[in-house]
Every structure is written in C-alpha cells, then in structure tokens.
Copies of this chain bind each other. A is one copy, B any other.
Amino acid sequence: TRKIDLDKNLDRFEYENVAVEAPIKVFLNGKHLATVMASPQNLAEMAFGLLIDEGVVPQPGDVVNVSIDKNEVWVESRRINLDRFKSISAGVIVTSCSSRTDFHRVIEELKMSPLPLEQRVEASDILDMAAELVKRSVTFRSTGGVHSAALFIDGAMEGFAEDVGRHNAVDKAIDSCLMKDVPLQRAVLVTSGRQPADIVLKAARCRIPISVSLRAPLSSGVYAADLTGVTLICFARGRRMNVYSHPERINPLRTI
C-alpha cells in the first residue's frame, strides 16, 4: 500500500491490514441455501446463526450436525421451515449494502406475539455496553473494514463477533449465545452497523427486546421495531443516544 500524507510530506510503501471477505456457501440437508460474502472465521456460528435468526430452522436443538469444508458449511437439521428456505434461496432481494429481504416479511413477522415490556435498563448501562463493543473491536481498529456485534445479559458480554457484513456479525454473536442457552429475553444486542428491518427482525425472532447501534437507523428498521415491540436505540456514542421505538424499557433520567 502506498501511503500519502500531505501534512507530513509522506509518500511511501507500507504494509496495511485489509479486511478479508470470501464467498461462504451454506448448505442445509445437502441443499444450497445461500452464498454469503463474509469474514472467513467462525463459519459454523455464522451458518447456525443465519438459519435460526432467519427462521429457516425453528429451534437450535433441531440442528444435529455442522461440518466445515474450507469455505463451505454443511448443516444437518431435523426440521426445516421450507417457506423460509425457499424465500432465502430464491434471493428476491439483490441487496444494497443492506437488507436480505423486503417489507413483506415485516408483515409476516406480525404473526409473532409482541415482546413483553417488563425489562427495564438504565441509559448509562446501554452506553457502557456500546463503549465495551468499541473496545472489543480489534479487527475494526486494524482494518477499518468490518462491523461488530455483541450480546449482553445483565450487563455482561455473552457473545461477540466481527465480520465484513453487519448481518453476519449479528448472526455470529447471537449464535454463540444460542449454543450456551442464555436467556435471550433479557438480552441487549449491540452492533456497529445501521439498523434496517432485517437486523431488527433477527432480534425480534430470537425474543431479544433491545437492539442498540452505534450508527443510524433506517426507516424500515424503525417500522419493524415499532411493530414487533423491539426497543431500537441508535447513535449510542459517548454519553448520548436516540431511542426510536418503545422507549418505556429505558428508565427516565431525572431531568431538571
């Protein structure tokens, strides 16, 4: 890499880290479900997370075997939701750096019972979790080219992942918790990427009530959070944040 810095009058070749992405093929019961551009680490977690978060496999316990062969992940499951398999493998949406799906799924999601509202969190705790995500994101600091995601239960980080794709990072982070059987209904998902509908729906489908991002919301994300009962928090940086839906879960500050 040639580095140029006008202020330092610097123009020289130096080694630079670059975020690696590779096409990862996911097979379910021998059939090709999807090819995903992803960081080629934690592929079992990615595939497993994708299958559960996208509703293709109903329950984590349905998976009987996961094997990895280079950039291919082969998953065997006792049960498959065939409609979801078809809609993902049909790939209706050729995406735009964002959604794997379209708004119709938001409506489909409404069949789900809304998330209960009893969980209450302090704003300062949310900001502490966001700060911890930043601290853990070592690949981002080294390459600038990846997203990160983490799951917190009662303030403790239970799952963490980095990936070139913000969707994959969420799949990988959620999966490391699914494997441990942690109580997702008390979890907070914290991510570095924008929040379109399908990231919010990954949380909703796993009964995660609070989804926090360091970055911006998208209109589809706010809509999906509204309908499914997810508390959507964005721009959680430093000492401030915006709550776009179901703000009841965040305890009020005692303002002057």
Contacts and interface: CB of A to CB of B under 8 A. Distances in A.
Interface of A: 1-12, 16, 18-23, 34-38, 88, 90-100, 102-103, 123-124, 127, 143-145, 147, 163-168, 193-194, 196, 215-220, 222, 235, 238-244, 247, 250, 252-253, 255-256
Contacts of A163: 96
Given A6-B240, A19-B217, A38-B96, 13 more contacts: A4-B242, A6-B124, A6-B127, A6-B239, A16-B244, A37-B98, A37-B99, A90-B91, A91-B92, A96-B167, A97-B147, A97-B164, A98-B164
Contact of A218 (B164, B194, B238): B164
Contacts of A93: 23, 34-37, 91, 94
A9 B255 contact: yes
Given A4-B240, A244-B18, A250-B4, A97 B218 contact: no
